[in-house]
Chains A and B, each alone.
Chain A
Amino acid sequence: MAKKSVWSDNRFWQRTAAWITGFASVLLIWLTFDTSGQIVMGNDADLQNGVTKRVPGPTVINYKITYEMDAKRKHEVPVIGEKEMFFGKDDWNEEEAAALLHLGKLASQTKNCMNCHTLLGNGAYYAPDLTKAWLDPAWQETGPMQAMTGKSTKEEAMAEFLQNPSKYPTHARMMPNLGITADEAKGLVAFLKHMSSIDTNGFPRNFGKIQGAVNGK
């Protein structure tokens, strides 16, 4: 008589399940340590010394951010350029910038942005993705939003819109009034600007590069 095969032995498969699960878990934990190190927020010194961080420090709001094709990586990456005014000043210190970002991130959660918009592509699909909203052509000098809100800078236009969204409808589908205060709006704009500086491996692709006619519109 042939010996019973291990392949039909429940204990064998139980051990296999335990080993595979353990191995996958250990690998995930190890990768989590590696990733955690890479996604820690940078600081002001990094920005001043031109050290690139996947998630820059809050004082990134003092700089001009663009989204450009990286020849080596073959996709777009955020590029932090020269100083730029943000709500009238370009010398937000580390504490001020961090406080503003903190307020903005809290507002992004308490106002439930994620259940209409996507942030870093995650959330709901009822409103535009906000990952690179700061860089959206609609808010630049050439876009319609500054004129619509009667503001002369992008950040002020965004803040004004956030406080009175249903006053400035762009489509039948409108953003509701969420009781966002002037301070919270400022924080939210800082949060959006900071988010646009995060290295998202080229997502979204071709952001704002292609404009004009689509499907005969």
Chain B
Amino acid sequence: MANSYLTSESKKLATWYFTFAAIIFGAQLLFGLVAAIQYVESSFLFEVLDFSVARMLHINALVVWMVFAMFGSVYWLLPDETGIETVGIGLGKLLFWIFAAAIVVVVLVYLFIQVGPANETSIWFIHEGREYIEAPRWADYGITVVALGFVANLYMTGMKGKQSGVVTVLMADMIAFAGLYLTGMFYTDNITIDQFWWWWVIHLWVEATWEVFVGSIAAYGLITMIGAHRKVVEMWLWIEVTMLFGSGILGIGHHYFWIGTPEYWWEIGALFSALEPLPLVAMFIHVLYDWGKMQGEQDAQGKEMSVITNKPAFTWFVLNAFGNFLGAGIWGFFHTLPQVNLYTHGTQFTSAHGHLAFFGAYATILVGMMYIGVQGKNGIKILNNTTSTIFATSMIVGGVLGMTVALTVAGYSDVIISRAQMGATWEGYFSAQTTTWLLQGMYWRLIMGAVTFIGFLFLVKDLLTIGKAANHVR
């Protein structure tokens, strides 16, 4: 980490996390491309790197890079928010290396061993075969230790230093985030109980604790990047927490419609998950409102300058505010009511929602944090866009939107034919898969996936070189 303007060890550690996250982000896209090619040309890498393996790597890499970037974001903002250096930074660095090494081992095992015999040893050392949290049992314990260490550092620093609203929310949120992982760490022969608890991890992460995390990061970003007033931002943050947890916790019911759980989840899931878009609207309005307000104050003073001190990062934060609402809110609401979900459950529709929601709600803001890291590391007062920033942002956003639209179109075929008309049988499934709508949808998804990947290459180039560009205010 030569030529760094960073004096805070916590921020240096954050840049390690961001770097590793970006590498895994690339891996996520690569394996996504493999899986996308297989939809179009099923013989591609057949019995070499099968769809199941590519897809497992695709979604696991997604979870891992986001968790890394989230840890990094917290280590980045802690010194600013608490006014002190992060406590236990040595432990933080040690855990980083343990975490990164464990991930590399897990990935290599996924890639080269792929499947094992049906016994507990496979569950312990290869993978658990449970979507999103496939990590083998040994890694589960490792992740738990790493997460606890991270939470301990957050708590020690938060309690020793100044405890802002942002830090308070993060402290409450991150302990829930770490604790929930434990509910996905056991084996049962009863698949209904299995999936019941599995959703405690997946849903209560991405539709509750991660969303609150995003709210906190957005609050931090507004304060640091446009100088929004802390009082307003933190009040909004508490309102967002109220709405996010108020709707998201019981919104878990929309995963309990069809897995063997009782009928009352229809009503609970429908009601609370239908409310889930509300906080996302609020977050979007909040970001734009604060931006307009701060710019307006500056305009009133007769200054013809943008209030934004980090253009690329703020762009990604605004994309987050809108993408979260669009991907998680709108695309989620599309199929959250049981009357609709009976037919859309487990189709390409779900996939369309998954892509836009993970991107809009999480990828965007975490990429924004990476730009904040680059700004700090290079000691830049006002970071402006470069040509690569524009290419990276527009290609990634355009690519993901394109994939989402393609998958949504494919989803209509899937829903109408394989679910509504033919009731999800083998024949119904393949009848849908071979329709023109679905086939063309998969071609477009592949093309748009490639666009996203090229955008990612621009992003990497930009993150590595933007600090050297001449158009910043230093």
Q: What is A's interface to B at a CB cutoff of 8 Å? A: 8-10, 13-14, 16-17, 20-21, 24-25, 27-28, 31-32, 34-36, 38-41, 54-55, 58, 98, 101-116, 118-129, 131-133, 136-139, 166, 170-174, 176-179, 181, 184, 187, 191, 195, 198-211, 214-215, 217
Contacts and interface: CB of A to CB of B under 8 A. Distances in A.
Interface string B117-128: 111101100111
Interface in B98-154: 114-120, 122-123, 126-131, 134
A13 B190 contact: no
Given A58-B189, A205-B343, 17 more contacts: A21-B249, A32-B196, A36-B196, A40-B193, A105-B189, A110-B129, A111-B118, A115-B134, A125-B347, A126-B38, A176-B46, A179-B115, A184-B118, A202-B258, A204-B419, A206-B420, A214-B421
7 contacts: A13-B242, A106-B123, A110-B115, A112-B127, A128-B425, A199-B260, A201-B263
A128 B117 contact: no
A125 B425 contact: no
Interface stretch (B77-85, B233-241, B355-363, B368-376): B233-241
Given A39-B190, A106-B120, A205-B419, A54 B260 contact: yes
Contacts of A31: 264, 268
Contacts of B126: 110
Contacts of A208: 423, 425
A173 B351 contact: no
Contacts of B130: 109, 114
B249 A36 contact: no
A113 B198 CA distance: 16
Interface string B186-218: 011111111110100000000000000000000
A200 to B, nearest CB: 5
A41 B52 CA distance: 29
Given A54-B262, A126-B39, A28 B250 contact: yes
Interface string B22-46: 0000000000000100110011001
A136 B429 CA distance: 11
B249 A121 contact: no
B69 interface: no
B169 to A, nearest CB: 8
- From A10, A27, A191, residue with most partner B Cβ within 10 Å: A10
Contacts of B348: 125
Nearest 8 pairs of A and B residues by beta carbon: A109-B129, A203-B258, A107-B118, A204-B424, A13-B238, A121-B346, A206-B423, A118-B346
B276 interface: no
Nearest to B253: A31
A36 B446 CA distance: 42
A24 B350 CA distance: 26
B47 interface: yes
B231 interface: yes
B435 interface: yes
Contacts, number: 273
B191 A120 contact: yes
B294 interface: no
A166 B48 CA distance: 13
B258 A201 contact: yes
A54 B263 CA distance: 11
A176 B235 contact: no
Contacts of A13: 235, 238-239, 242
Contacts of A58: 189
A210 B55 contact: no
B53 interface: yes
B257 A203 contact: yes
Nearest to A15: B238
B422 interface: yes
Given A106-B120, A122-B346, A184-B118, A129 B429 contact: yes
A55 B263 contact: no
B266 interface: yes
Contact of A215 (B417, B420, B426): B417
B261 interface: yes
B123 A112 contact: no
B350 A125 contact: yes
B249 A187 contact: no
Contact of A10 (B119, B165, B189): B165
B48 to A, nearest CB: 9
A179 B252 CA distance: 36
B289 interface: no
Contacts of B255: 122
Contacts of A112: 52-53, 56, 114-115, 127, 129, 134
B469 interface: no
A28 B249 contact: yes
Contact of B424 (A122, A131, A179, A199): A131
Nearest to A197: B260
Nearest to A54: B260
A138 B238 contact: no
A78 B456 CA distance: 48
A159 to B, nearest CB: 14
